[in-house]
Amino acid sequence: MKPVFADDAAIEYAANLLRQGRLVAFPTETVYGLGADASNPDAVRRIFQAKGRPAGHPLIVHIPGVDCLNDWALTVPDAAQQLAAHFWPGPLALILNKRPEVPLVVTGGQNTVGLRMPDHPVALRLLHAFGGGIAAPSANRFCRISPTQAVHVADELGDAVDLILDGGACLVGVESTIVDLSGNRPRLLRPGHITRFDIEAVLQTELIIASQQSEQSNQSRMRAPGMMAVHYAPATTAVLCSTGQLPEMIQELSFPDKKIGILAYRSAPIENRLTRIIRMPEQADDYAQALYASLRELDSLQLDMILVEQPPDSEAWRAINDRLRKATSVYQPLVESNG
Ligand code: TXA
Ligand code: MG
């Protein structure tokens, strides 16, 4: 499946495909989505087939405006109005209690629905042409890296998708921030470009950080390559290491003739016949934008391993570190002491 340039005719055609229950991949500001008519359960089931994603994983419904919240949500709390007014269109998904008519296949059987108005001209034109909600997870195979260019979607999904709209490279580069407003207190489910502080500033209340709880328990657990819960992961084993560890690990892991890819941040290792180096941008936003394409590039080189140099750990880097942790395993030296 070759991506098509998203001109008016292509968008009209895409909207028609959606009406027929077919699948259309389209760009958003975060990553490319694999879209289907959210009100058509058979169409939504096709998304799961195309991705190889198990049922029970809820999808985000993309809508063209704040005024469509009521079409999907049973009630729209003040917090949702405030966040949508402030951040939409933008990389923020809101979890709200769903209306009874929202198909359970969209929500993974739950009584809540994820909603977001994407900030991308092609996505918005498609939503307006279609005139309904578009359920769309990231347009990658289950557990793989999200696509940030149309060609990534073609590589991932081939002919499992009926049309790929090409709208260029995604500017944000990591998936949306998800805030759950279905309970008594707002909870951050997934960190993204919009940070917890951005959201807390608008809501004037503290978020419960669901992702941090699992981050902490993840860190305290011993993880080894191939043994962690893979998500957003390249096929090549990828390992996260500190700037200080990097030179030693390059030596150790490439010995005697293993090929290593390196996603470098602060260090400037020198490329040789066993190493391929991508130097990542210094700023968090630029790093996020480049992250998945860079991992994908290293992943395509038939390397034995990918080393990722740990970037900073401040709030601006939260989403990046979250995705890096999911794409990598913690390095465990092969020889362990008996203690
Ligand atoms: O940036 C994004 O959000 C991209 C673009 C395409 O919009 N989409 C995306 O979709 O990342 P996906 O399916 O790869 O991730 C959606 C996440 C999943 O982690 C899912 O668990 C969560 O949203 N989610 C969706 N609906 C939910 C619900 N009702 N309750 C809890 N989590 C939900
Ligand atoms: Mg995804």
CATH number at residue 285: 3.40.50.11030
Split at pLDDT 50, 70, 90, the class of 332 is low
Q: Give, for ligand 1, the residue of 23, 26, 53, 59 to mutate: max count of ligand atoms closer than 8 Å to Cβ.
A: 59
Least confident of 19-23, 114-118, 267-271, 334-338: 334-338
Q: For residue 97, give the DSSP letter.
A: E
Query: Per-residue pLDDT for 308 more than 90?
Result: yes
Least confident of 18-32, 167-181, 265-279: 265-279
Same domain for 73 and 182, yes or no, is yes
Q: Is residue 227 part of a domain?
A: no
What is the rounded CA–CA span in Å between residue 23 and residue 266?
41
In ligand 1, the atom with minimum distance to the C-alpha of 53 is: 13
For the Cβ of 177 lying below 6 angstroms from any atom of ligand 1, the answer is: no
Q: Is residue 339 part of a domain?
A: no
Q: Is residue 223 part of a domain?
A: no
Query: Per-residue pLDDT for 333 more than 80?
Result: no
Same domain for 192 and 164, yes or no, is yes
Q: Sheet holding 238-241: strands in order across?
A: 275-279, 260-264, 305-309, 238-241, 329-330
Same domain for 145 and 42, yes or no, is yes
For the Cβ of 28 lying below 6 angstroms from any atom of ligand 1, the answer is: yes
* CB within 8 Å of 323: residues ≥ 6 apart: 174, 175, 232, 291
Same domain for 191 and 274, yes or no, is no
Helix 284-299, helix 150-157: angle, nearest 10: 40
Number of the ligand closest to the Cα of 32: 1
Split at pLDDT 50, 70, 90, the class of 334 is low
In ligand 1, the atom with minimum distance to the C-alpha of 33 is: 6
Phi, psi of 68 (to 5 degrees): -90, -5
45 vs 212: which has the higher pLDDT? 45
Mean of pLDDT values over 24-38: 98
What domain count does the chain have? Answer: 2
Same domain for 75 and 193, yes or no, is yes
Q: Is residue 199 part of a domain?
A: yes
Q: Give, for ligand 1, the residue of 178, 214, 291 to mutate: max count of ligand atoms closer than 8 Å to Cβ.
A: 178
Same domain for 207 and 59, yes or no, is yes
Residue minimizing CA distance to atom 6 of ligand 1: 33
Same domain for 74 and 103, yes or no, is yes
For the Cβ of 93 lying below 6 angstroms from any atom of ligand 1, the answer is: yes
Q: Is residue 322 part of a domain?
A: yes
Q: What distance in angstroms lies between residue 190's CA and the mean position of ligand 1's atoms?
A: 9
Residues paired with residue 113 on neighbouring β-strands, in sequence order: 96
Q: What distance in angstroms lies between residue 137's CA and the mean position of ligand 2's atoms?
A: 6
**What is the pTM assigned to this prediction?**
0.93
Same domain for 179 and 246, yes or no, is no
Residue minimizing CA distance to atom 22 of ligand 1: 58
Residue 92 in 3-state DSSP?
A: strand
For the Cβ of 95 lying below 6 angstroms from any atom of ligand 1, the answer is: yes
For the Cβ of 191 lying below 6 angstroms from any atom of ligand 1, the answer is: no
What is the rounded CA–CA span in Å between residue 167 and residue 72?
27
Query: Per-residue pLDDT for 119 more than 70?
Result: yes
Percent of the chain with pLDDT over 90: 87
What is the rounded CA–CA span in Å between residue 171 and residue 286?
9
Same domain for 202 and 260, yes or no, is no
Split at pLDDT 50, 70, 90, the class of 186 is very high
Q: Is residue 129 part of a domain?
A: yes
Number of the ligand closest to the Cα of 104: 1
* CB within 8 Å of 63: residues ≥ 6 apart: 69, 71, 72, 115, 116, 117, 127, 133
For the Cβ of 112 lying below 6 angstroms from any atom of ligand 1, the answer is: yes
Split at pLDDT 50, 70, 90, the class of 68 is very high
Q: Is residue 230 part of a domain?
A: no
Q: What distance in angstroms lies between residue 146's CA and the mean position of ligand 2's atoms?
A: 6
Percent of the chain with pLDDT over 70: 91
Residues paired with residue 309 on neighbouring β-strands, in sequence order: 241
Q: Which two tokens stand for residue 286?
A: 């630029």
Which residue is associated with the tokens 């997934």? Answer: 190
Mean of pLDDT values over 19-37: 98
pLDDT value at residue 303: 96
What DSSP string runs through 174-198?
SPPEEEE-SSSS-EEEE--SS-HHH
For the Cβ of 181 lying below 6 angstroms from any atom of ligand 1, the answer is: no
Range of the domain at 114: 4-218
Residue 224 in 3-state DSSP?
A: coil
Q: Where are the beta strands (DSSP E) in the chain?
A: 4-5, 24-26, 33-37, 60-62, 92-97, 112-116, 134-135, 163-166, 177-180, 187-190, 208-209, 238-241, 260-264, 275-279, 305-309, 329-330
Q: Give, for ligand 1, the residue of 115, 175, 180, 322 to mutate: max count of ligand atoms closer than 8 Å to Cβ.
A: 175
Phi, psi of 156 (to 5 degrees): -75, -45
Mean of pLDDT values over 201-206: 98
Taking only the tens place, the pLDDT of each residue in 206-260 is 999 985 544 444 443 333 333 344 567 889 999 999 999 999 999 999 999 999 9
CA atoms within a 13 Å half-sphere pointing along the CA-CB vector of 271: 8
Same domain for 65 and 200, yes or no, is yes
The CATH number assigned to the domain holding 52 equals: 3.90.870.10
Same domain for 10 and 159, yes or no, is yes
180 vs 230: which has the higher pLDDT? 180
Q: What distance in angstroms lies between residue 141's CA and the mean position of ligand 2's atoms?
A: 8
Taking only the tens place, the pLDDT of each residue in 77-99 is 999 999 999 999 999 999 999 99
Q: What distance in angstroms lies between residue 152's CA and the mean position of ligand 2's atoms?
A: 14
In ligand 1, the atom with minimum distance to the C-alpha of 139 is: 6
What is the rounded CA–CA span in Å between residue 127 and residue 259?
45
Same domain for 261 and 120, yes or no, is no
What DSSP string runs through 281-315?
PSSHHHHHHHHHHHHHHHHTT--SEEEEE----SG
What does pLDDT average to over the chain?
Answer: 92
